[in-house]
Amino acid sequence: MTRETTGPSAMERLLATLDLEPIEVDIFRGRSPQAGWQRVFGGQVIGQALMAAQRTIEGERFVHSLHAYFMRPGDPSVPIIYQVERIRDGSSFNTRRVVAIQHGRAIFALSASFQLEEPGFDHQIAMPGVAMPEALLGEQQIKEQYLAHAPEAIRKYWQRERPIEIRPVSLTHYFSDRKLDPRQDVWVRATGPVPDDRLYQAAVLAYLSDMTLLDTALYAHGTSIFDQNLQVASLDHSMWFHRPCKLEDWLLYTQDSPSASGARGLTRGSLFTRTGVLIASVAQEGLIRKKANE
């Protein structure tokens, strides 16, 4: 089949979603893919807000950190308006604040800092030794071998076409109620070409950084985000961009959850290239609450 008959790929749709429409100075409009979701995926809002901030930065300055709060669920049926405030333009650093608005109310806020690249000290932690992605089951094999008897929520998750392929090192968590150590390793990669453009590369990396992360906080409790008795939602999200990466190959997303308490769970993540280069670090706290009995 040709692309004309099959339509755009999932990655092409993601890139179009990140390509915001400028509607005024420092104001942009973003749209959501109509994928049947009840709320906008958090990674999409992070990626779009980062893209809005990036488009107000001049010169060779690139994002090195972002910090964000989710305040209300996003409505995928209407556009999201992104308002950018230019907090500071310095000799080396630029700071931007972005507020995402729907139905006249803020749903999300992000602060991001950008830096003119310069040399300096350089070190990193080592990538954990795990099986390479080629040694693991692919998504099609997972569908064929496991999904026939899996709960409906898990089947829908794995059967949906996504711009990012996920290949967990272990699948035990998805099909067992065993209490496990609160850590996981997941290989991720783009399912289509990402432009050789650092603005898009950073936005796609921010998008995928929200995938699988909060679920790690549930490992110790023998459940998952697919549990219909749980209310699970991201509360905040922080990310540090250490080194540029073209997203042409698999990335290892290694995650751990140091704490869960007060109906909240904290998860940390590190993103490595296949060769062990640490390209980004992530931290997220999320709501993890048992629903009241009806």
d(CA 278, CA 276): 6
270 labelled catalytic: no
> How high is the pLDDT of residue 1?
38
* Catalytic residue (choose from 48, 201, 270, 284): 284
Residues 6+ apart with CB under 8 A from 263: 287, 288, 289
* Catalytic residue (choose from 32, 185, 210, 224): 210
Taking the CA of residue 185 as centre, how many other CA atoms within 13 Å lie in the half-sphere pointing to its CB? 16
Residue ranges in the chain modelled with pLDDT below 50: 1-5
> How high is the pLDDT of residue 4?
45
Helix axes 198-208, 42-54, angle to 10 degrees: 160
d(CA 197, CA 195): 5
215 labelled catalytic: no
266 with 257: CB under 8 angstroms? Answer: yes
Residues 6+ apart with CB under 8 A from 6: none
* Catalytic residue (choose from 234, 255, 270, 281): 234
Residues pairing with 168 in the sheet: 186
From 11, 3, 31, select the one nearest 188 (Cα to Cα): 11
Torsion over CA: 290, 157, 105, 87 (sign): positive
209 labelled catalytic: no
d(CA 55, CA 245): 19
What's the pLDDT tens digit per position in 160-208?
788 999 999 998 887 778 899 999 999 999 999 999 999 999 999 999 9
